[in-house]
A and B are shown apart, each in its own frame.
Chain A
Amino acid sequence: MTNKSKKINRFIRSPWAEWIYVNLPFVFYLVLLSVVYIFNTHAVERSLREIADLKKEVNEYRYQSMNLNQELMYESTQSQLTKNLQESGIKPLNKLPHKIKVEGENK
């Protein structure tokens, strides 16, 4: 027997080795747990980054839609419509609307 294998032999027979051997499933369990933990942390960070990116994108779209929306709101005011329709000859009505009352109804 070489010197090295003697050493290993001695280690295997030591109480240390026996202790590790007995608790091996638990050690594996711990290792697994830490792998899961690390993986989980990374997953969380990845989704946080994804959330931030998506939020940025949503914001861009939001601002784009708001831009269009406010343009539309402004263009649909009566004064703007009047200006834009001047050439077509369409004007705002200056008379009051006619109201017809249906008998038996209160409004």
Chain B
Amino acid sequence: MHQKTELLARAYFVVVIFSLLSMVIAYRVFKVSILEGDKWRQKGAVNVKWKELNADRGDIIADDGSLLATSIQFFEIRFDATVAKSAYFDNGIDSLAFFLAASLGKNKSKYTWKKELQAARKLKKRYHLIARNLNIDQRNLLRNFPIFRGGSSKGGLIEVKFGRRAKPFRELASRTIGEDRENAQKIGLEGYFDKFLRGPVDKVLQKRLTKDLWVPVYDPSEIGSRRGDDVITTLNVHLQDVVHEALSSSILKYNADKGVVILMETATGKIKAISNVTNTNGVITERLNTGIGERTEPGSTFKLATALALMETGKVDLDTKVNLFGGGPVKFNDKSIKDSEHHGKNTVTFKEAFAVSSNIGMATLANQVFNKNTDTRLEFLGYLKQFGLDRVTQIEIEGEPLPLLKNPVKDEKTWYGTTIPWMAHGYELLLTPLQILTFYNGVANGGKVVKPYLVSEIKGEDGTSKSFEPRVLVDKMASTDNILKAQELLKEVVLTGTATNIKSDNFMIAGKTGTTRVNYSNKEEYAKYNASLYGYFPAENPKYSMIVVLYNPQGVFYGSAVAAPIFKSIAEKTIAGQFDVTKPINLAKDSIRAKQTLPEANAGYADDFRGLFDYIGIPYKNKTNNEWAYVDPFEQKMLIENKKITKANVPDVRGMGARDAVFVLENLGLGVSVQGSGRVTRMSVTPGTPIRGQRIEIYLN
């Protein structure tokens, strides 16, 4: 009995202790998590946080690995004028002002700087702006200036770092590469491939180690961030430079509003260069996306599509006759058309009409063949669809509009009796320059329309890679026969037509000029034109297709006068880098080698001649084993013959180079002075004179 009560008492004691303890714990939990919850959570948040880890943005790269766009650090420098001690500030202020004026320029003299900084100090400014957008080198320079070199604690220097996209090649293809700015929509390739360039965004629980060092809680080795993917484009920096330079200088020359050049590889659709240039009072910038995003009436360059459609019906061929009425005007329904260039021709073949870019010829034939009834009108539209002209090119830039082609059924309200003849020479329809280029490229490519593209590969940091192959949009846009005829038409334009000024000596260009009246509906305004040239080269085996468009050139406005010279100069520079296009000179009939004369009477070190002839592959006969020799051209061979040099008489060094001549003469104990450069032609002492240590002058030419 006694034991039992004691046992129970002890048990009760334990229970009471435990329940008291648990109550205390429960109270503490309540107090910490609810009563003081906010306070503790706040404290915790300071040291452990879910932080977003942004990857470093990837680069945009040209086809040879050059950087087109990359992230670079820039600095904003500010000054806390209250930090520096009086003596330190007064000692340094003069030289600081001097250095700031010298390095930052920008029309602030050292006196202005001094006054400004002293005023800032007086007003106790803690965040006074010194400079914006400095690169790291400029920042490093500023760090070494007096006062500033005391850093943030002694000198009051404040550096604000920010990342920004930089384009090493500045304006080159700038609009196509695009922009990645804060608080603005991303445009160009930066926008289209943003998802890849941006890279993964991770949320990682991080804890704070020091003031601004955060490390992941679970795996500290993951410190630092990852990188986005690199986007490798098809653009070539050299071609881009050539294109930009040629286009910009012409735009300034003709004071045009803007211009577009797109250079594309025929077989693949790779865009090698694209320039969209705007002229703002003589300043050239790349701001607008004209080549891809702006539809215009193509004018004469569209005649190729009309011609191809006419030939596809089988009713028109290259030698079909058509009357041009001397250039017009000729009435269609209630409106009249005339040819823009005066040719004075009447009945000519279809080929000739195309070559002189006759609006009347095209309108007449299209009117005859396609303007009979709704069925034939739909047939015309059907051919344009067959050529792929009703679709977007799917280029990797946002904002490509759909081509505008009128449909005689759906667009009945805007369809007139004049629509077909006007469409035939490129009006009443809207296309972007790139869309027309894609069509021309199809003709150059034997009827296969390939998709133009700008990006060939996306490369990840971890070695993953996704490449983009050429894609076919239309496998066969017209019969092979008609494609060949279309190519012949384009060659005829260059041979006898409106673009004879782009004939090149070394290879042939095929193309079509365009002179498009922009504001023909507005009779009040003075006439505005777009001058263009669409084509490909070399004509026989096309490697590149290209367009050149100048918007509103002043003074001269014909495509043949304005756009054609740019086309030619770019084409020649492009071909200059293509060794498989140039013909070898030694296989031509009048080979250059045959005209060359062999070098005469050269004298010098025999081994040099043997080595040189071996290297070039010129056959020679060795007739001496002596050190010095002269060379005699003989029929198909060079003879290397002995050059006599004795110790007794002054040798004949004529024909030798300076190095050999001086060596020979000085070895014989003669004093030598040299004049001119080239080979020795004259000596002041007659060869054969006995050597007596005299001075000798040799003249080279």
Contacts and interface: CB of A to CB of B under 8 A. Distances in A.
Contacts, number: 89
B582 A100 contact: no
A79 B583 CA distance: 27
Given A49-B210, A70-B168, A55 B224 contact: yes
**Residue of A74, A77, A97 ringed by the most chain B CB atoms within 10 A:** A77
B169 A74 contact: yes
B136 A77 contact: no
A60 to B, nearest CB: 7
Given A67-B72, A96-B576, A98-B592, A77 B137 contact: no
Interface size class of A (residues with CB under 8 A): 20 to 34
Contacts of A32: none
Contacts of B136: 60, 63-64, 67
A73 B169 contact: yes
B382 to A, nearest CB: 43
A77 B242 CA distance: 9
Given A49-B213, A70-B166, A79-B241, A100 B584 contact: yes
A101 interface: yes
A98 B593 CA distance: 12
Contacts of A45: 209
A94 interface: yes
Contacts of A44: 220
A93 B506 CA distance: 15
A99 interface: yes
A17 interface: no
A39 B128 CA distance: 45
B575 interface: yes
B245 A73 contact: no
Contact of B67 (A59, A64, A73, A94): A73
Given A63-B73, A79-B245, A96-B572, A101 B168 contact: no
A44 B215 CA distance: 11
Given A49-B210, A66-B72, A101-B586, A77 B169 contact: yes
B66 interface: yes
B244 interface: yes
A59 B225 CA distance: 12
Contact of B135 (A51, A67, A78): A67
B70 A99 contact: no
Contacts of B586: 100-101
A25 B168 CA distance: 68
Interface in A52-78: 52, 55, 59-60, 63-64, 66-71, 73-74, 77-78
A6 B619 CA distance: 119
Nearest to A101: B584
A36 interface: no
B137 to A, nearest CB: 6
A94 B568 CA distance: 12
B585 A99 contact: yes
A64 to B, nearest CB: 5
A48 interface: yes
Given A66-B72, A74-B170, A99 B579 contact: yes
A69 B137 contact: no
B311 interface: no
Given A49-B210, A66-B70, A77-B238, A98 B585 contact: yes
B595 to A, nearest CB: 13
A69 B587 contact: no
A43 B214 CA distance: 16
Contact of A77 (B213, B237, B585): B237
A107 B581 CA distance: 11
Interface string B566-604: 000000100110011011111100001000000000000
Given A45-B209, A77-B241, A99-B582, A63 B576 contact: no
A94 B572 contact: yes
Given A79-B244, A79-B245, A48 B579 contact: no
Contacts of A101: 584, 586-587
A99 B220 contact: no
A49 B244 CA distance: 48
Interface string B155-197: 0000000000010111010000000000000000000000000
Nearest to A79: B245
Given A52-B223, A97-B582, A67 B137 contact: yes
Contacts of A59: 73
A4 B299 CA distance: 116
Nearest to A65: B136
Nearest to B62: A73
A48 B215 contact: yes
A100 to B, nearest CB: 5
B509 to A, nearest CB: 14
Contacts of A60: 136
A16 B586 CA distance: 108
Nearest to A100: B586
Interface string B134-156: 01110010000000000000000
Contacts of B135: 63, 67
Contacts of A107: 579-580
**Residue of A45, A48, A101 ringed by the most chain B CB atoms within 10 A:** A48
A38 B22 CA distance: 32
A58 B256 CA distance: 47
A93 B575 CA distance: 13
Nearest to B248: A79
Contacts of B168: 69-71, 73-74
Interface string B236-251: 0110011011000000
Interface in B103-150: 135-137, 140
Contact of B241 (A51, A63, A78, A94): A78
A93 B587 CA distance: 23
Given A73-B67, A77-B237, A78-B238, A96 B582 contact: yes
A25 B174 CA distance: 73
A64 B137 CA distance: 7
Contacts of A78: 238, 241-242, 245
Contact of A70 (B67, B220, B572): B67
Contacts of B73: 59, 63
A53 to B, nearest CB: 9
Interface string A10-29: 00000000000000000000
Interface of B: 66-67, 70, 72-73, 135-137, 140, 166, 168-170, 172, 209-210, 213, 215, 220, 223-224, 237-238, 241-242, 244-245, 506, 572, 575-576, 579-580, 582-587, 592
7 contacts: A55-B224, A67-B136, A70-B67, A70-B168, A73-B66, A73-B169, A100-B584
Interface of A: 44-45, 48-49, 51-52, 55, 59-60, 63-64, 66-71, 73-74, 77-79, 93-94, 96-101, 107
Ordered nearest first, which 10 A-B pairs have the shortest CB separation? A70-B168, A101-B584, A79-B245, A77-B241, A99-B584, A63-B136, A63-B73, A73-B168, A96-B506, A99-B582
Given A48-B215, A52-B223, A99-B579, 13 more contacts: A44-B220, A51-B223, A64-B140, A67-B135, A70-B168, A74-B168, A77-B172, A77-B241, A78-B242, A78-B245, A94-B572, A96-B575, A107-B579
